[in-house]
Amino acid sequence: VTLWSGRLEAGMAEEMAAFTSSLPFDRELWRVDVAGSVAHVAGLEGVGVVTGVEATTLRAALRAVASELEDGTFAFEPTDEDIHTAVERRVTELAGATGAKLHTGRSRNDQVATDLRLWAREAIVAVGGSLLDLVEALDARAEELAGVWLPGYTHLQRAQPVLLSHHLRAHAWALLRDVDRLCDAAGRVDVSPLGAGALAGSSLPLDPTVAAGVLSFGSTFDNSLDAVSDRDYVGELLFCIALAGVHLSRMGEELVVWSSTEFGFVELDDRYTTGSSMLPQKKNPDAAELARAKAGRLIGHLAGFLATLKGLPLSYNKDLQEDKEPLFDAVRQLLGSIAALRGCYATARFGTEAMADAAADELLGAVDLAEWLVARGMPFRDAHRRVGGLVAIALRDGRPLRELVELDDELGAQAAALLGPEGAAHRGSSPGGGGAAPSGAQAVALRGTITSARSRIDALPRLPALW
């Protein structure tokens, strides 16, 4: 028996059933599906479509179904083409004629839209919280390793010395923007489509705000056609996830490069590396490599899903069933990458000596020399040319730059001192810069942003307790 056996006589062909069934992946929605039904029962009861006694029966049956699903004793039937069908079928088995009233004024179209929004709300909380855990791990290492310099790079060429704490916090700020973006998207997820029915609402006097209230939705739909066909929030979340994945990918790549013998800037802990089946000496940064790789898949989920949405006529189309797998997989993969990278950073041994050696490259102080001249009235362009000329000579003749600076009649010994450790106090000292002077303020700002992001996530609507 199918949900529509009144209209269609023949059952589905076997391969058709296998092709169209979403149960293999939408079981993931069981908890939110039961919640949506509990809310719907409240709506039906509120307008007298079911009596108080019937509502109690339905709630009891839903609760029984939930515990079967929870403890794994729920018996799925071959005709359960999706989780909504399975839950309703079982409620009807348990509650008889009353169970058959559950789907009054509701369609799987508004039901699945409701379920997925509820699921997405929880996912935002999980992903946002996990990103903040990684941010905190980065900040903790930054604090611990305060005072360590390394070369900052542009074009992957040594550019200026920066503090390692500055470098690690650069990643943290990007991840905080990801959290911010997710929280922004949460507002648009938090709209209840329940009550839109198949596409046009119902002739029964249902009030969508009742069910929305039970589910703690911030608002209800304004247009039923839009409510059942809108998957913008899935696209938005896939974008937020893809971009966070891109950030993790860049971090992963950095760990891969830094852990090479050539760099020696980090040694990953054994627990986050693998050995080689053939080469006894190998220690491979697989976690970082996979974090780098997953971005490809996450971008694919976004691009693929937008392609599925494009050109769909209003309102619900079965195509929309394809929203779940990319979203579920994207969330799962991102959470995996975040956890692995967090472990990598928390346990890594940073090669602070290799970093310090590389940062001691005196050419990295070239701009400080030019700025020293600027502070004494020379136009920057002239100062740049003058120092550039000395660098060229130093490289050509294989002489230390410092020596040439000392001999230069505009620069001299005082400027030359900038190229040694004594110069560190001046480096990157402007607000937000990579040196020591602004680092304390940055740490305070970062922690303030973490705290407010945490409270923003804590304040997001969650699935309330149902029973």
Taking CB under 6 A as the rule, does residue 315 contact ligand ARG? no
Taking CB under 6 A as the rule, does residue 416 contact ligand ARG? no
Which of 103, 108, 166, 167 touches ligand ARG (CB under 6 A)?
108
Q: Name the CA dihedral angle for 330, 336, 340, 341, rounded to a multiple of 10 degrees.
A: 30
Residue 389: CB atoms within 10 Å: 12
Taking CB under 6 A as the rule, does residue 321 contact ligand ARG? yes
**By CB under 6 A, which span of 161-169, 175-183, 189-197, 317-325 interacts with ligand ARG?**
317-325
Q: Tell me which residue of 33, 10, 208 sits closest to 108, measured CA to CA.
A: 33
Taking CB under 6 A as the rule, does residue 337 contact ligand ARG? no
* Per-residue x/- track, 37-76, ligand ARG (CB under 6 A): ----------------------------------------
DSSP type of residue 118: H
Q: From the CB of 328, what's the least distance to ligand ARG, in Å?
A: 12
- CA 135 vs CA 165, 181, 192, 244, 280: distances in Å: 12, 15, 32, 12, 35
Which of 42, 320, 341, 424 touches ligand ARG (CB under 6 A)?
320
Phi, psi of 192 (to 5 degrees): -85, 125
Active site residues: 155, 276
Q: DSSP letters of 229-264? A: H--HHHHHHHHHHHHHHHHHHHHHHHHHHHTSTTT-
Residue 18: CB atoms within 10 Å: 10
Beta carbon nearer to ligand ARG, 109 or 220: 109
Taking CB under 6 A as the rule, does residue 109 contact ligand ARG? yes
Beta carbon nearer to ligand ARG, 231 or 384: 231
Which of 34, 41, 112, 242 touches ligand ARG (CB under 6 A)?
112
Which of 22, 37, 98, 220 touches ligand ARG (CB under 6 A)?
22
Taking CB under 6 A as the rule, does residue 165 contact ligand ARG? no
Task: Give 170's contacts (C-beta < 8 A, 6+ positions apart).
Answer: none
3-state secondary structure of 145: coil
What are the residues binding ligand ARG (CB under 6 A)?
A: 22, 26, 82, 108-109, 112, 316, 318, 320-321
